């Protein structure tokens, strides 16, 4: 019996989902075919179905991977001073907005989640974890005297998420410069919580 190398298996799944995410962003979920994904990923249909039973499973996996990526991000953030950890999280959550193609994927996840209860629950769970972890960092920063929270840590975390989400919502505007606006986002957040300007 052939053994499966878990690292190679995970890398192959990641390659498929990364490739599919670009296509979903560009063409939309419904207009992206399995053949499109296979061609772009340079794999056979049989190989793709070895890793994923359906196209929708590939789409869901993108957000499963988000959860794992977020866990790694927060582990890294907890190694920093609390406020530096908050800024790292804001920067990492904002980073995909620097790629305008992401706007298409944002539209697709909203459309697909409204029809797919499992995806809706997964995306909601990821958002809740980010909010809880970000609130914990903000609470630690407040306790350490690095910031002065004007509201609860959970409310501040929700507003921080809203600011990040605002970047993605503006990507359809050709005059919007996300790279420059990430610094504005950091400045707004810093002033909101009474931290030194970044």
**175-191 residue pLDDT tens:** 888 888 889 999 999 99
Least confident of 85-94, 117-126, 137-146, 162-171: 162-171
Q: What does the DSSP 8-state code read for residue 172? A: T
Q: Is the pLDDT of residue 133 over 80?
A: yes
Q: Whole-angstrom Cα distance, residue 52 to residue 54?
A: 6
Let me know: does 90 contact 74? Beta carbons within 8 Å: no
pTM of the model: 0.84
Tokens standing for 183? 């610094």
What are the contacts of 174-181 at 24+ separation with CB within 8 A?
178/94, 178/97, 178/98, 178/100, 179/98
- Using a 10 angstrom Cβ sphere, with 0-12 exposed, 13-18 middle and 19 or more buried, the burial of residue 58 is buried
Q: Whole-angstrom Cα distance, residue 94 to residue 114?
A: 24
Q: Is the pLDDT of residue 18 over 60?
A: yes
């Amino acid at each position: 019996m052939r053994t499966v190398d878990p690292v190679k298996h995970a890398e192959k799944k990641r390659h498929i989902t990364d490739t599919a995410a670009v296509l979903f962003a560009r063409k939309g979920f419904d207009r992206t075919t399995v053949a499109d994904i296979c061609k772009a990923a340079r794999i056979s249909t049989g190989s793709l179905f070895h890793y994923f039973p359906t196209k929708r499973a590939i789409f869901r996996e993108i957000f499963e991977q988000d959860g794992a990526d977020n866990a790694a991000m927060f582990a890294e953030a907890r190694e920093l001073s609390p406020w530096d950890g908050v800024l790292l999280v804001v920067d990492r959550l904002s980073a995909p907005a620097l790629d305008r193609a992401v706007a298409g994927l944002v539209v697709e996840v909203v459309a697909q989640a409204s029809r797919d209860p499992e995806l809706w629950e997964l995306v909601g769970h990821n958002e809740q974890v980010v909010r809880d972890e970000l609130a914990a960092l903000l609470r630690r920063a407040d306790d350490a005297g690095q910031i002065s929270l004007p509201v609860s840590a959970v409310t501040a975390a929700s507003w921080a998420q809203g600011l990040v989400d605002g970047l993605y919502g503006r990507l359809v505007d050709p005059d919007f410069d996300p790279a420059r606006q990430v610094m504005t986002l950091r400045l707004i957040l810093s002033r909101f919580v009474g931290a030194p300007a970044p």
